[in-house]
Amino acid sequence: MKQRFDYYMPTEIIFGPGRLKELAQLELPGKKALIVIGSGGSMKRHGYLDRVIEYLEDNGVEYVVYDKILPNPITEHVMEGAKAARENNCDFVVGLGGGSSIDSAKSIALMAKNPGDYWDYVVGGSGKGKPVEKGALPIVAITTTAGTGTEADPWTVITKSDTNEKIGFGSKYTFPTLSIVDPELMLTVPPKYTAYQGMDAFFHAAEGYLALAHQPASDCHALEAVKLITQYLPVAVREGENLQARCAVAWANTAAGIVESLSSCISLHSMEHALSAFHPELPHGAGLIALSIPYFTYISSKTAERFSDLARAMGQDCSGLSDEEGAEKFIDALKTLIKDIGMEDLKLSDYGVKKEEAAELARNAMDTMDGLFHQDPYKLSFEEVVHIYENCF
């Protein structure tokens, strides 16, 4: 067991079906909320925005709605949202929706309190990495998807569109103060997105288990998340209304968010961010699925340690097997899971990605999200990253 680690997990998490209504009574961190939602209209269509507004009003809280967030959120909307928060004297931010809305809420909360441009604070790529001196407004996350784990971590992924940089960034100020995870809100997520989002959570857990930063508490959550997703994600994809499966996947996602807080993702996530920075129509989870088999096959051919534990969490019998054989079991189980969720035919070329882009993608991944490469159990060279991208075609 690792003997030195830090544990910081400051978010209050309210988990369970039907618990959104508790927003009417919970102690909230302010009196006027900026509610941040996506531009697609699903929060209005499903009545979730109306419910949140009603509960906030019951709780004596005023609100302003900011509804422009894109599926791959951009800096322009962070700055505009922060301006709206300041001009309306909002004293906290509510992110309602999937990862894009909640991540944007975090970045808006930061920029509502700090001067300059968002990219002044981002670490990596052309970000200036200035210290966040004035903290952030308190953040309340209400998640309607099971994918990013953002309700249980400090990370916010925003794209600088003019330079194609999609960078995950965060600080101790961008942990939500309060997160509500109500799996009933996830019953309406269509099968394809259930699959993409669930696999995003799967990779947060699996990568966090393999990362050099792993620690005892992240290991427990990672193996549980991998197990629950293997068992229940295919059910949630097939039977969207199955609340038991939705609860299991929702908790696996939140647990994987805790893994991201206590451990780290590895370079699979850097490589995917490069893909969806250049091809914003590519869903993050789809990019991860498309990269995953060539990626893990290559990494485990260099160092197979800890892969057997992941295989076991996926229900494989690894008794008496070497690390290398255990890693093969993990790859087999991952292929089966991808098939069980109907994603075995997913191809990067369907999203317009070309094999000739491999070198440019590798450069982008290693420039903008360099930090995660330092968490890899095997140090990849530029040529090896290009090679993995090429193997995805």
Measured N-to-C along each axis, helices 382-390 and 267-278 cross at an angle, to the nearest 10 degrees, of 60
Q: How many C-beta neighbours within 10 Å does residue 42 have?
A: 16
Cβ 332 to Fe ion, closest distance in Å? 23
- CA torsion 166-225-69-85 (nearest 10°) is -100
Distance CA 217, CA 85 (A): 36
- Residue with smaller CB distance to Fe ion, 285 or 326: 285
Distance CA 388, CA 380 (A): 10
Report whether 125 contacts 177 (CB < 8 A). no
Cβ 155 to Fe ion, closest distance in Å? 9
- Residue with smaller CB distance to Fe ion, 55 or 251: 251
- Residue with smaller CB distance to Fe ion, 35 or 206: 206
Cβ 264 to Fe ion, closest distance in Å? 12
Distance CA 78, CA 56 (A): 23
Neighbour-count burial for 197-221, b at 16+ CB within 10 Å, e otherwise: bbbbbbbbbbbbbbbebbbebbbeb
Question: Under 8 Å CB-to-CB from 113, ≥6 apart: which residues?
Answer: 134, 135, 136, 137
62: tokens are 């005023």
- Residue with smaller CB distance to Fe ion, 69 or 318: 69
- Residue with smaller CB distance to Fe ion, 75 or 276: 276
Phi and psi based region of residue 55 (left: phi greater than 0; alpha: psi -120 to 50; beta: remaining): alpha
Cβ 44 to Fe ion, closest distance in Å? 26
59: tokens are 């709780």
DSSP state of 158: E
Cβ 204 to Fe ion, closest distance in Å? 6
Cβ 265 to Fe ion, closest distance in Å? 7
- Residue with smaller CB distance to Fe ion, 156 or 230: 156
- Residue with smaller CB distance to Fe ion, 29 or 280: 280
Nearest to 379 by CA among 393, 364, 392, 366: 366
* Three-state secondary structure call for residue 226: helix
- Residue with smaller CB distance to Fe ion, 20 or 236: 236
Distance CA 340, CA 19 (A): 30
Distance CA 44, CA 161 (A): 27
Binding positions for Fe ion, rule: CB under 5 A:
200
DSSP state of 102: H
Cβ 145 to Fe ion, closest distance in Å? 12
Cβ 284 to Fe ion, closest distance in Å? 6
- Residue with smaller CB distance to Fe ion, 204 or 329: 204
**What pairs with residue 143 in β-bridges?**
97, 181
- Residue with smaller CB distance to Fe ion, 52 or 385: 385
Cβ 232 to Fe ion, closest distance in Å? 19
Closest residue to bound Fe ion by CB: 200
Cβ 361 to Fe ion, closest distance in Å? 17
Distance CA 277, CA 167 (A): 9
Instruction: Work out whether the CA dihedral 60, 103, 263, 113 comes out positive or negative.
Output: negative
